[in-house]
Structure 1
């Protein structure tokens, strides 16, 4: 059984839709996923845990988290829920908030490795209206709709982060070892346009190269070099979709040695050239 859902299947930075599916198989992916229940109820299986989501509940599934959706046998209503898939690393989070957002929506420890669930009775805001606005912007594609989609996702994340902080769960999301790696991911995000050596990152963590490399891959499912390239490619994709900058400029701004190398690596990642990406998803 194939359990990895390729992010490359997302043709744009976001994938947003309503569904009644109650039989998704066990899988994981590199992007984040939010579920909002409009009617009925579903079972969410996440790693070794399980919960039932009912009307008005919101669920956030972390990157790399093994999960599946199943039917709730007690449900007597028709099922409908919204699915919002997005990449945390390309949301353009301001540097001031990167650590807080990553702490809340990227990292978790073995003892808290379950999806984030916010029950409807805990929410004052109308999540349904926000979700519907995001869906309409995404499907109708009005002027600057991608910016509107991103803004809506920000609203949902802020509401969830504030709720988790109120519940006290936010404080326990990192283990001691995570402190080092949080700093490293922040550093990579801030310096992705520069030359980054893995050995230097290992030194920042007071680790040997081999121990750092093994630990990084165990935590994030890919090597540090692959992660750096992944961040650079996602930032480049953002510039392709949101700007008219030349390939040479985009390559330079995202740490690629030249535009030829950038085009070659991008095509290997996406299956299309940067120019084709821009033309197919023109705003």
Structure 2
């Protein structure tokens, strides 16, 4: 299960009360889902989930509302939805599209760095709403359309090593997408004298948190690391990622706690301490707040799932 990038459930409910949470893993018990959907005119209500989603339109077009921005996705276009995006869809007659949904850890943990997963995605999309839409005129000349069809074929036929094939194709798509987003982030000009802060400063802080999450980190220390005042750092961090420093730190800790709960024999209290929580009760409360399940129940339900998927 993957990190909720910048849109914790309570924040989503506050901003999008009409949206419902979709528990993909509970519905399918898989870390990766793929389907070709044929839909005539119809609507898909606003919802959100913890999986990365890729929509690739084969014919006709669909209108997708992501958070508060609407996208017209035509034949040959690809739309990227990151975990926590509130999205709804209106389809037109003859609409046909590929829908890929994946836990980010399942696909990308071995190919992308923490900074890629937890910094570039939310930061870039928060500052460029068009970055998630890849038009046919751009990707038709690339191998992306073929890779999407190959993924669907591998998932449907499920031959030996199909998961490896899916990961390989998704990694190539991710490389294309992330380099594009990285280039957009690089275009941000460092104008710190006028109040704007270079993205590299925030990236430095994110990398530090992702590595040292199990230590006693404070916002004051991170402000010093970023070369900002505490108050400015707090405002800038939240405006860039959509969550406060403490929310982000807790999310990283919970993300790593999930792995320990699944892959180790540590007790709940030991897992809490291992990921940086000094109080087990607070850890349990935060875990349930973010994932809507207690650590004990999570371990009972999903223990061994990741190991099986990676085998």
Asked if Structure 1 and Structure 2 have the same fold, meaning a TM-score greater than 0.5 normalized by the shorter chain, the answer is: yes
Q: Which moved more, 1:265-274 or 1:8-17?
A: 8-17
| Correspondence for 2:245 | 224
1:246 pairs with 2:263: no
Q: What SS does structure 1 have at the residue aligned with 2:89?
A: strand
| Correspondence for 2:64 | 44
1:54 pairs with 2:70: no
1:107 pairs with 2:123: yes
Q: How large is the RMSD of aligned CA atoms in angstroms?
A: 4.1
1:203-251: CA deviations, max 9, x gaps? 222323222222222222222111111111112113333x133135433
Tell me, in whole angstroms, the C-alpha distance in 2 between the residues paired with 1:71 and 1:105: 26
Tell me, in whole angstroms, the C-alpha distance in 1 between the residues paired with 2:31 and 2:299: 15
Kept in 2: contact 1:217–1:223 (CA 8 A): yes
1:173-214: CA deviations, max 9, x gaps? 687522222222111111111111111111222323222222
Kept in 2: contact 1:90–1:235 (CA 8 A): no
Q: What SS does structure 2 have at the residue aligned with 1:193?
A: coil
The match for 1:266 among 287, 290, 293 is 287
Kept in 2: contact 1:112–1:173 (CA 8 A): no
What are structure 1's unaligned runs of at least 5 residues?
none
Tell me, in whole angstroms, the C-alpha distance in 1 between the residues paired with 2:22 and 2:260: 18
| Correspondence for 1:70 | 90
Kept in 2: contact 1:8–1:269 (CA 8 A): no
1:130 to partner: Cα distance:
4.5
Kept in 1: contact 2:45–2:89 (CA 8 A): yes
| Correspondence for 2:207 | 186
Tell me, in whole angstroms, the C-alpha distance in 1 between the residues paired with 2:83 and 2:148: 23
Tell me, in whole angstroms, the C-alpha distance in 1 between the residues paired with 2:206 and 2:46: 28
Q: Residues 202 and 135 from structure 1, CA distance in 2 versus in 1: closer, same or farther, beyond 3 angstroms?
A: farther
Q: Residues 91 and 59 from structure 1, CA distance in 2 versus in 1: closer, same or farther, beyond 3 angstroms?
A: same
1:61-113: CA deviations, max 9, x gaps? 345666542234xx5x3423314254579953568x44455565332276622
1:84 pairs with 2:101: yes
What are structure 2's unaligned runs of at least 5 residues?
1-15, 191-195, 306-311
| Correspondence for 1:128 | 148
Kept in 2: contact 1:27–1:67 (CA 8 A): yes
Give the alignment's TM-score, normalised by structure 2: 0.67
The match for 2:174 among 157, 166, 179 is 157
Q: Which moved more, 1:40-49 or 1:20-29?
A: 20-29
| Correspondence for 1:35 | 55
Tell me, in whole angstroms, the C-alpha distance in 1 between the residues paired with 2:184 and 2:232: 30
1:108-158: CA deviations, max 9, x gaps? 276622224153413225222453267559xx8x9996x887666434312
Give the alignment's TM-score, normalised by structure 1: 0.72
